[in-house]
Every structure is written in structure tokens, then in C-alpha cells.
Amino acid sequence: MTWFGISNWHYQIGELGILLDGAVGFPAAEPNPAVVQKVREGLEKRGTIQYVLLGHLHGDHSVDTPEWVKQTGATLIASANACAEAAAYGIPASQLQPVKGGEKFQLSPHVEMHVVKWVHSVRVGEKSPADGGIETFGFIFKVQTPGKILTLYVSDSGAGGSELTKEHLVEGENRGAPLSNLGKAMRAADLQTFEIWQPGPESRIVTQARVIVPAYRPRYLMPHHLGARGGFDLFGGLHYSFKPEEVPKLMSVLDDFDVPLVPPVNYFDAWTYDRDGLHSVDNSEVKLSLGLPASGPGPNPQGPNPRAGDLEGPDD
């Protein structure tokens, strides 16, 4: 698995390649084909792309999504509105798979994926509207390997607190409460736990963690949705670091349940996940091809997190 900014992920599972979001030209109002091509060629040094997933339709997640689908010929799994935008961009209907949440996809003989209707994030003290705001999804992966079933839950956004238990009405249709939706998807997947949890955004994770960590006992928490604020520059490197001391409430939950925090250090950091657990791996070939150092932050200097002091609030 390779993280390349904000909530952009690439997962290579055997011969199957899956991309999440892919907003590489942000900030921009239109897709950037040249940047998508450059990043795609980097990722293809190690993998493929048959599916593109979109967590939600928002500039820092979706601006380049249609271009990824165009360049790869992949199938887009996203909201109806996102699929409509992709269609307007020229993507044929055969490559579009609109979802509402609750769907199961057999992406390969070994990879099962469940779509979870989640909820978009809100600031501390705010409440989401009755429909939950921008239609947002998480994705559960269940991977059959010879030695073990591998499990992962990823979302590119997500409020905490009461938003997790509030049922949301989308165009008059009850789409359920996020935590109930997650529970239903886990039951449909016949899972009791997911070992890797990749939640977004970076703020207010603690309110999700207080429920999700005790209930599903992930072995690793990999926070993301990093880099969008304060000057995103994919080829300049992550311009601030994720510091555990800025999320003391989250760290307290993780310490209580012995869950390690595994934040990325720079764009195109990569890991393998197998029967032996999660391991950081060398991705220097891809990084160097994109102008990034082989390891560590850079090449641009790092400053403070633009959201420092706002990652956890009194309501948490």
C-alpha cells in the first residue's frame, strides 16, 4: 500500500490494483492530466490500477478522479453524483459503478470489498445536516491469502461524536447511521475485526477511536488526510509532520488498547501487509522518479501543521 498525499492510496493485492481518490493536482478546479500521468507512471513501477474508489466528491479528493479513470480504463466506484461528473468528463457508463452504501464487490477471486455509508467531517462544535453533508463512503477489504485473511477499513473523511450514531436522510431515503452501517458491513463480510484502520481526516479521530478501537480491535491505526491544508505540493513533500503530542486524547485510547500509530512521513511512503503484519518498505525508486528523497521528509522544508491546536477540541 502506498500513500501519496491527502487521502490518496494505492493498494496492490496480487495482480489487482486499487486507487483511492487520487487528488494529485490539488488545489485546482479541473483535472490535471499531466500530473496524473506522472504519478501514474510512478505507481505503475510497482503496480496496476483496475479500480478507482472515491470516498466523497470534494476538491481535495475528487478533482483528478475522472482523469485517473480515463487514463487507466479502470472502473469507478463512487456516489451517483461523482459518477455523473465522470460521465460529463467523457467516461463511458460501462466504467461507472454508482453506490449508496451497503454494496458488496468481488474485485478478484481473493478480494472482497464492502461499501460503508459514512459521514463527512464537521468542525469541533458543529453538527452535520440531516443528510450528512457531502455523500461519504468507507471501504472494508477482506483478502483471502494462503495463510491468513487480511482485513482493512479505510475512509477519507469522518465526523465523530453524535454524528456517528445519527441516521442520515439522503433525498428522503434513510441511509442509516455510520456506526450501524459499519456494523452491517462487517456482518455481511463475516468479520469480527479489521486489523488495519485508515481513518480520515486527521482531526477528531479520537471520537471515532473511542468506539471503533474497543469494538473492532484494529492492530494498527494509520491516520491520513494530511497535506491538503497550508499549501499542498505533491512533489515538494509533506509540508508538516503528524505529531502524536498534538493528539493526546487519541494517543490515550491507543495506549489503552496497545494499538500503534503509524503515520506517514512523506508522500509515496509504502508498506506491505501480510500474514506477519504491517511493515514499512523501501519505495525509493518511485520517490526518486518523482523528485522526492528516498526516505524522510522533503525536499521542501516542513513547518507546523496548519491545523495544530484544532485536531482535538473540548467536545472531544
Least-confidence region, from 17-21, 167-171, 234-238: 167-171
313 lies in a domain?
A: no
Q: Report the pLDDT value the prediction gives residue 90, as an integer from 0 to 100.
A: 98
3-class secondary structure, 17: strand
**Are the C-beta atoms of 279 and 262 separated by less than 8 Å?**
no
Q: Which domain range does residue 250 map to?
A: 2-289
Residue 203 — very low, low, confident or very high, per pLDDT cuts 50/70/90?
confident
Is 239 a domain residue? yes
pLDDT at 258 exceeding the cut of 80: yes
Give a yes or no: residue 297 inside a domain: no
pLDDT in tens, 1-17: 999 999 999 999 999 99
Q: State how many domains the chain has.
A: 1
Q: Is residue 311 part of a domain?
A: no
Q: Compute the radius of gyration of the chain from its Cα atoms.
A: 18
pLDDT digits (tens, 9 = 90+) for 65-121: 999 999 999 999 999 999 999 999 999 999 999 999 999 999 999 999 999 999 999
pLDDT of residue 201: 80
What is the rounded CA–CA span in Å between residue 200 and residue 198? Answer: 7
pLDDT for 32-77, tens place per residue?
999 999 999 999 999 999 999 999 999 999 999 999 999 999 999 9
Task: Give a yes or no: residue 284 inside a domain.
Answer: yes
Query: Does residue 312 lie in a domain region?
Result: no
| Residue 73 placed within a domain | yes
CB 226 within 8 A of CB 269: no
d(CA 20, CA 11): 8
Q: Is 309 helix (H, G, I), strand (E, B) or coil?
A: coil
Burial class for 130, CB neighbours closer than 10 Å (0-12, 13-18, 19+):
exposed
Residue 132 within any structural domain of the chain: yes
> What integer pLDDT is reported at residue 115 of this predicted model?
98
pLDDT, tens digit, for every residue of 138-190?
A: 999 999 999 899 999 999 999 888 899 999 999 999 999 999 999 999 999 99
| Distance between CA atoms of residues 20 and 115, nearest Å | 13
Query: What CATH number should be reported for the domain holding residue 106?
Result: 3.60.15.10
